[in-house]
Amino acid sequence: MQAIEAEAARLYLKARASDAPKDWNDAYAWVAQDPAHGFAFAKAEAGWELAERLNELPAGQKDGVAAAAVAPPDNPVPAEAIVAASRHRVGRRRLFVSFAAAAAIGVASTVALRLLGTVDHYRTALGETRTVRLADGSKIHLNTNSSVEVALHDDVRSISLLKGEAQFDVAHDKKRPFIVNADGTLVRAVGTMFNVRLRADVTELTVIEGIVAVRNGDSAVRRIESGRSAAVRSGSIAVTHLEPAKIRQRTAWQAGMVEFEGDTLAQAVEEFNRYRPTPLVIGDPAIASLRVGGAFRLDRSQDFVDALESGFGIRAVPGSDNSIILVSAEGS
């Protein structure tokens, strides 16, 4: 059994690290070979991910979730029982408890749900954007290099944003809340539109229409209305007002555009590099703080480079790997 658990852990960690379809398919093919493989894989997945969520739950609930996650093969907890129990608990607890329960139960039953074919995984490649229409009528707009998992149940719609950025256009269904888990930040909506971006050090939420409820770690639940944004990190939720122009700028990628209005050159380069296979590189720190503006097509970063050369005294030096090094034109 130890050898099976070691192989399960190896396959899971490899697939998690790469998030490549081939690695996930290899893992699920191995799981399908033997019921013991499935239990070992579920244990590996839950043991790794559930630890990050467990501190958010009340003490009594931690024990139940942990037990379900590591149930031994000779006495397994059926996936249907896990899901049914979670629905019963979620329906009877306050909003912030239902957030934590949904996240933890979702992790504990992810493998079982995948094997039952009830979890869908959608991805985009670097430079690609995509719109996915869900069975409930909701839409998910995926930005470049992004990945989500979707599980639609009778009483809850659970979405995990694994990486990147997505806008969620949620179909109204009062009986089935729409819950997005973005690296531990839980966003709850019924019928609304909002954008979530996983940055390196913060989760960025932009509410475009309606109202959402947000929780992270031990934070209190915050209700955030349209026209507002939240920066979420380590249990803190910082809410700010956004002008319509700023919301348009944050969502311009859906029209294949990127917009700048007083952004620094460093910020603009970072944004373009999300869509480029080879980077724009600032070779002169003195120009990093230059302020730039304008609207450009995501797939035509050269137009941005041309504008820098013609209007900002910047010289672009092409690299042999198709990268572009930006330096000051003075002294050249």
DSSP letters along 250-272, please? HHGGGGTEEEEEEEEHHHHHHHH
- 211-241 confidence digits (pLDDT tens): 999 998 878 889 999 999 999 998 899 999 9
> Is the predicted pLDDT of residue 51 greater than 50, yes or no?
no
Look up the CATH architecture of domain 256-328: 3-Layer(bab) Sandwich (3.55)
Res. 71 pLDDT band, cuts 50 70 90: very low
* Poorest-pLDDT segment among 39-53, 187-201, 254-268: 39-53
pLDDT of residue 35: 64
3-state secondary structure at position 196: strand
Looking at CATH, the fold of the domain delimited by 119-246 is given as Jelly Rolls (2.60.120)
pTM for the full predicted model: 0.69
Instruction: Specify the domain boundaries for CATH 3.55.50.30 within the chain.
Output: 256-328
pLDDT value of residue 7: 87
Q: CATH 2.60.120.1440 in the chain, residues?
A: 119-246
Share of the chain above pLDDT 90, in %: 55
